[in-house]
Structure formats: C-alpha cells, structure tokens
C-alpha cells in the first residue's frame, strides 16, 4: 500500500507543483485521506520536488544553457557584464538568497507549525485572492529582459513565502511578477528558473537528512514518487505555458478559494485535525 500511496502522491506533486495552487498543500491534505491518514512530511515533499524541478531543467534546457554560458562569459570578461542573460543569471543567484536564509532560520517551523491545516487553508484563500487581484490590475507589459536588481530581490522574497504550504512557489512569484507589471509568460518563466537552485538545494538537503532518520516512506518509494512527478510535471509545464498565453489565472483563483473554504469546513466539523 505504501508504494501505491507514494505513486499517488507523486502524481499529485507533478500535477500541482507548477500550477499556482501549492503542491505542498495538496500533499499535506491528501495525506489525511490515504490509509493511515498521516502527513507525508516536509522531507518527502522536498525530495519529490527534485523530480518536478528536473522537468523544468529539461523543458527550459536551452534557456538554462544560454543563461549559464553568458553568465560565465560575462564573469571572465568575454562579453559585456550588462548582457541580459548574464544579468538574469546574477538575479537568480541573488533571488535565491532569501529562501536559503529563511529556510535555515525557520527549519523547525517548516517541518511542524507551518504544516497546520488551518494555516494552509488561510494561505490558499489569501494568496488566491492576491493572485486574482494581481492578474486583474497588472500592466503585463514588461518582459524578462526588463528585470532589474530590485525586482530580482522582490521575486526572491516572494519565492521564500513558499516555505509555508498553501502559498505556492510558482503562485507567489507569479503574483509578484504580475504586480510589477510583467507579462504572464515572463512572470511564469522567471518563477520556474528562479526555483531551480532553491528546490535542488532543499531536495538534496532533505535527501541527505532522510538517510539517517525515520520517514513515512522508504527511499525506494520516494524515488518512485519522484519519477512519477517528473513525467507528469513535463506535461503540466507545457500546458501552463500554453494556457497563460491566451487565458487568465482566474480558474486557479477559484480553485484555491474553493479548496481553502472546503478545508476550513472539514476542520470546523472535526473531519480533519490541524496536525
């Protein structure tokens, strides 16, 4: 049964990681309805995100190679330091610092307090509303080449909010990008690229930790879930990038509000417990 549960959770991880609905919230909630009714844990979530982030690397491989190449060439003076791709490389580095620092400072809370279903319900609703407002009022004129250092820092701070399940890594950063006036596709693309160092760092750290600690799922089961998440996430990235070129984020806003409200009702009735 554990293997089947791991596969289901991997499927959900792949489906929800890049949609602005919070994959960590979905894994936390789904765990309550699987046999045994237990939180799969922050470690399982972080490790399976290695699969979804590997999908980002595959999907945006050309962008990543170009950015990394230009960053190194600018660093050694082969091309101008203000090269747009080199600048994006630096901004990704700068934008990763906040989530690394805050992740270490609030590590205990991330694995305990922040996983309260009451908190998750609230963040699903509040950040769903913020996404809707940002998508409505955002100018959607700026492109990725217009990214500035202050905006890169703001993006990094927005990404760090994803340490709280229910916020959504992609949702938080996309919301910030829309408020700053970036196009939907530009905001989403940068959100995905910005997440690469943080997700790989977090996943590998949790993987190393899990080698010496008891976990809900074995490493083998977690590996299967990670593989499933990778395959599913590839399709979801392609879908989302196509969707936002023609449509708004309204369906995701409605979904977040409905899920958050349903969660509050289930908690209030005692069907679910917050921890």
The DSSP annotation for 42-87 comes to HHHHHHHHHHHHHHHHHHTHHHHHHHHHHHHHHHTTSS-TT-HHHH
Which residues neighbour 176 within 8 Å (Cβ) at sequence distance 6 or greater? 134, 154, 155, 157, 158, 187
Residue 223, domain member (yes or no)? yes
Q: Domain span at residue 63?
A: 2-268
Residue 36 confidence (pLDDT):
65
Which residues neighbour 112 within 8 Å (Cβ) at sequence distance 6 or greater? none
Residue 37 confidence (pLDDT):
61
What is the C-alpha to C-alpha distance for residues 181 and 240, in angstroms, rounded to an integer? 19
* Region of 140 on the Ramachandran plot (φ > 0 left; ψ -120 to 50 alpha; else beta): left
Residue 221, domain member (yes or no)? yes
Q: What is the mean pLDDT of each successive set of 10 residues along the chain, which is 275 residues long?
A: 86 94 92 76 84 94 96 93 92 93 88 90 97 95 91 94 92 96 94 92 83 76 93 95 92 97 96 88
Residue 217 confidence (pLDDT):
79
Residue 252, domain member (yes or no)? yes
Alpha helix ranges (H) inside the chain: 2-16, 23-31, 42-59, 61-75, 84-105, 107-111, 117-137, 149-160, 169-179, 184-210, 219-243, 250-268
Residue 273, domain member (yes or no)? no
Residue 184, domain member (yes or no)? yes
Half-sphere exposure (Cβ direction) of 73: Cα atoms closer than 13 Å: 14
Identify the bridge partners of residue 182 per DSSP, sorted by sequence position.
142
What is the C-alpha to C-alpha distance for residues 198 and 103, in angstroms, rounded to an integer? 10
Q: Are 143 and 182 spatial neighbours (Cβ–Cβ below 8 Å)?
A: yes
Number of structural domains, the chain? 1
What is the C-alpha to C-alpha distance for residues 194 and 174, in angstroms, rounded to an integer? 11
Give SS3 for 34. coil
Residue 50, domain member (yes or no)? yes
Residue 77, domain member (yes or no)? yes
State in Å, rounded, how far the first CA of the chain is from the last one: 22
Residue 275, domain member (yes or no)? no
CA angle 110, 113, 119 (to 5 degrees): 100
* Region of 188 on the Ramachandran plot (φ > 0 left; ψ -120 to 50 alpha; else beta): alpha
């Amino acid at each position: 049964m554990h293997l089947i549960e791991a596969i289901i959770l991997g499927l959900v991880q792949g489906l929800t990681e890049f949609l602005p609905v919070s994959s960590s919230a979905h894994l936390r909630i789904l765990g309550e309805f699987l046999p045994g009714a237990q939180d799969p844990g922050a470690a399982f979530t972080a490790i399976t995100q290695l699969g979804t982030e590997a999908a980002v690397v595959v999907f945006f491989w050309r962008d990543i190679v170009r950015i990394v190449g230009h960053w190194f060439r600018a660093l050694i003076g082969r091309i101008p330091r203000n090269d747009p791709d080199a600048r994006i490389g630096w901004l990704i580095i700068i934008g990763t610092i906040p989530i690394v620092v805050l992740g270490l400072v609030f590590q205990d809370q991330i694995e305990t307090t922040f996983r309260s279903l009451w908190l998750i319900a609230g963040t699903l609703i509040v950040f769903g509303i913020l996404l809707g407002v940002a998508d409505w009022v955002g100018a959607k004129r700026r492109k990725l080449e217009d990214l500035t250092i202050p905006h890169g820092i703001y993006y990094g701070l927005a990404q760090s909010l994803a340490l709280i399940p229910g916020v959504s890594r992609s949702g938080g950063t996309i919301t910030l990008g829309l408020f700053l006036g970036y196009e939907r596709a530009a905001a989403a693309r940068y959100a995905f690229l910005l997440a690469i160092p943080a997700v790989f760092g977090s996943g590998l750290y949790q993987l190393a930790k899990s080698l010496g600690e008891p976990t809900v799922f074995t490493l083998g089961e977690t590996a299967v879930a990670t593989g499933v998440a990778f395959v599913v996430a590839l399709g979801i990235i392609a879908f989302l990038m196509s969707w936002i070129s023609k449509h708004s984020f309204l369906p995701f806003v409605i979904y977040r509000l409905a899920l958050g409200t349903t969660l509050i009702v289930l908690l209030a009735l005692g069907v679910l417990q917050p921890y």
